[in-house]
Structure 1
Amino acid sequence: MIPANTSTLSMVSNAEQERTCIRPVTNAQKQYLKRRVKNGTFVRTFRNLYAQTEYWQKLYTSERIRHVAISLMDLYPDWKFTVTSGAALLGYDVVEDYDTLFVGSKYNSQNTNLQTLPTQIYIRSKTNKSTHDNPQLHRISATGKEQDATSDDVRIVQPSRKYDGQLITLPHLSDGVSYEIRSHIVDKSTLLFDAANSLSFRAALPIFDSAARDNVNFNKVLEICGRRYGGGDGVGVVSVGFNGAVGNGFVYSDVAGFGSNADPIFRLRRLCLFKNGLSENGGESFARGTMIDLGFMVPELQHEFVAPNSRVKYRCDFLWRVSGGGLIVGELDGYDKYFVDSTNSTHVNINFNSSSDTQMLRNSYNQTAINRNIDRQAERESVLFRECGVSKIVRFNFADVVGVKNLERKLVEAGVPRIMCVG
């Protein structure tokens, strides 16, 4: 047992209560935490940042990013967080870019623990990338054209039905994020541009779907980014300097998925085209992005069936309407929903994007409730087949999506049309 003094224990407790990482100050604290990392009870989350292993492994990706980013704000006040880091701070859905993490190797759902993946941090910075940088840190060169997330330049303005066509400005859900935190994030246009050009398409799509739910005006995003990061005419012409640096702050060779002839504005435009605010979570967005990358027909989202006999409504994650009138339903299977006990008042308004909520569900394990949910699921499928004209239901889990091949096989076997050749 490695002894710890009261100040160290207090530091650990305070960090977890404040949802940040542990940042040791004294040499004694640093040595204590390094020893604890060696024996496996603590993990190093970033350079000079730590967390208890058990606590850290329960957190979701977006929660880990927020822990690290908020901890870094005081250390580096000039950093402006972008891509997944900025998105997580805004409360957007974030999924790991597995295509980058597993580049050159195959993802194995049996042998890969997704909970141990290092947290990646993205910033716009005036300082160039250094060999001394933490490998988890991704710098995108600041151009001086960026603003911060307190900017209001991508709001949707539309006529109000309630007030005789009077123009109203739709609010951003992310307005609830504190001004202090938003001042450490790039503006939404830059964040979306950076996400489009730093992540694979399927990893970026959850951020764009979140922005759609956040009432972001994508026409303004394209206009602003074309003007800032495209050519002088704002239509996406990219100028490359002698050092290979693009005028928008990117270096082609350093950006995942960038080819020498890639057009950064095109990548942004493609994501703006496919974004859909009906996507309920990052997993569904990531799955849909994978389907699009594989060339499958783009599914409808959250379609609601009404059973003719009972008038009960059943909603599905994905729906494909195929030739001949066939209906194929797709479901991204998660386990946590089966733990919800409709007779338990604490299970009302569960946030499945919150690790503490889902942990509470699992801790209140009730086999009767689980069996009841399984029976309801079976009855739901029976009604969809019997009364709603559904011809196939294809189920897949998140590991299927990450690994791609299982998802592809299941969609092909279910008869989901492929509308584009890939590979």
Structure 2
Amino acid sequence: MRRNQEIEQIADDAQQCQRYFFGVTANQKRSMRKRWLAHEYVRLYPNVYARSEYYNKLNPRERALHLIRALAAKYPQKVFGAMSAALILGLECPGYNDRLGHVQIAADTSIPPRPSGTIEKIYVHPLTFIVHDGIRITPPERTLVDCGLRYSYMQSLGIFDSALRFGMTTRKDIADTCSGLRKDCSPIQKLLRDADEKSENGGESLCRATILEAGLARPELQHEFRDPANRKHIFRTDFLWTCDHKTVVLEYDGMEKYTNQHMTNGHDTRRVVYDERNREDALRRAGVTAILRTDYEELRRPQTLIQKLLNNGVPMGKALW
């Protein structure tokens, strides 16, 4: 199709802002629609597009953020809430990929439920907002409460962990927000009990949620061990249980551990694996009796992980809920 300089500039400007683009004039809308029908563009929402090649390179979280930013530019008076607000705040949202194509708009008027569609309107009263990166969103504590009440424990724990880790809100502010609602906030109380700012990423939060939901004993996070062979070397473990003369460590392995240059200090995969073996040797010298590993794929079949932990002596926890 013949190149349209005006449309190309609109698309370029949107990509620079990491969002999708839309037409304003009738001619722009018509031209974009033609390119969508010719498979040059992907349509994410009526009159909201992305270049197909650009869109295919984005991961699910990036796609969600691009759509939220596009809708915020298109409707600047709208307030985004729940998971959309959590994404704009940069919070960890593990276990939510199946709904990252949905956008939550907050409103203070009663809204009939809509089980499908890109836009989910949620009732928030009183409706207040902050502006973050130029976008109106619900305040962090209200965002967390709405997420905890709308989504599962598995989906929400990482959001709470990261909000506390980043210092965006406090347990008291979250509890105070609950006290002003005429709702059963027991899911929020459970999340506040289990949330831990020591959790370093969404994968670890999802792993811990899996463990706690299965009723296993609560692990200690980020415990430090000093290598007896070299006291200068200190290692932190993701999860630790000490019971019946056993010290069990569980490590969560995300793919970034082997591919992200920042996390690998620029080393190749073979060097990273070598360093990991040396680390495990040091942990055993420090008294660790079992070192177990898991990853996201195993969390998708959690019984495998749970049985592995039980087989290595991790006990069931006391009933707290």
TM-score after normalising by structure 1: 0.67
Question: Pick from 116, 129, 135: which aligns with 1:148?
Answer: 129
Residue of structure 2 in register with 1:121 after alignment? 103
Question: Pick from 118, 135, 142: which aligns with 2:117?
Answer: 135
Report the AA paired with residue 310 of structure 1: N
Q: CA deviation at 1:59?
A: 3.4
Residue of structure 1 in register with 2:317 after alignment? 419
1:392 and 2:290 are equivalent in the alignment:
yes
Counterparts of 1:402 and 1:121, CA distance in 2: 25
Deviation per CA, 1:152-171, whole angstroms, max 9, x where unpaired? Answer: xxxxxxxxxxxxxxxxxxxx
For the Cα contact (< 8 Å) 1:83–1:122, is it kept in 2? yes
Residue of structure 1 in register with 2:139 after alignment? 187
1:35 and 2:17 are equivalent in the alignment:
no
Counterparts of 2:153 and 2:67, CA distance in 1: 24
Residue of structure 2 in register with 1:376 after alignment? 275
Q: CA deviation at 1:278?
A: 1.0
TM-score after normalising by structure 2: 0.86
Matches within 5 A, 1:223-302: 223-227=176-180, 229-230=181-182, 238=183, 263=184, 265-302=185-222
Question: Pick from 155, 158, 161: which aligns with 1:209?
Answer: 161
Q: CA RMSD in A?
A: 2.7
Counterparts of 1:297 and 1:131, CA distance in 2: 38
Matches within 5 A, 1:401-416: 401-416=299-314
Work out the percentage of aligned pairs sharing the same amino acid.
28
For structure 2, the 5+ residue unaligned runs are none
Residue of structure 1 in register with 2:148 after alignment? 196
Deviation per CA, 1:344-376, whole angstroms, max 9, x where unpaired? Answer: xxx4xx3x7xxxxx9xx9xxxx9x722111111
SS in 2 for 1:93: coil
Q: CA deviation at 1:383?
A: 1.9
For structure 1, the 5+ residue unaligned runs are 102-116, 151-176, 231-237, 239-262, 341-346, 353-357
Matches within 5 A, 1:339-358: 339=259, 347=261, 350=262
Residue of structure 1 in register with 2:78 after alignment? 79
Counterparts of 1:409 and 1:3, CA distance in 2: 60
Q: CA deviation at 1:130?
A: 6.4
Q: Which structure's relative contact order is higher, taking Cα pairs within 8 Å and 6+ residues apart?
A: 1
SS in 2 for 1:273: helix
SS in 2 for 1:301: strand
Residue of structure 2 in register with 1:307 after alignment? 227
| CA distance 1:45–1:409, change in 2 (3 Å) | farther
For the Cα contact (< 8 Å) 1:24–1:30, is it kept in 2? no
| CA distance 1:3–1:302, change in 2 (3 Å) | farther
Q: CA deviation at 1:198?
A: 0.9
Report the AA paired with residue 318 of structure 1: F
Report the AA paired with residue 319 of structure 1: L
Question: Pick from 144, 168, 171: which aligns with 1:218?
Answer: 171
**Structure that is richer in strand per residue:** 2
Q: CA deviation at 1:271?
A: 0.8
Q: CA deviation at 1:306?
A: 0.8
Deviation per CA, 1:20-54, whole angstroms, max 9, x where unpaired? Answer: 11224421112212331xxxx64333343233445
For the Cα contact (< 8 Å) 2:228–2:282, is it kept in 1? no
SS in 2 for 1:316: strand
Report the AA paired with residue 136 of structure 1: T
Q: CA deviation at 1:414?
A: 3.2
Q: CA deviation at 1:226?
A: 0.8
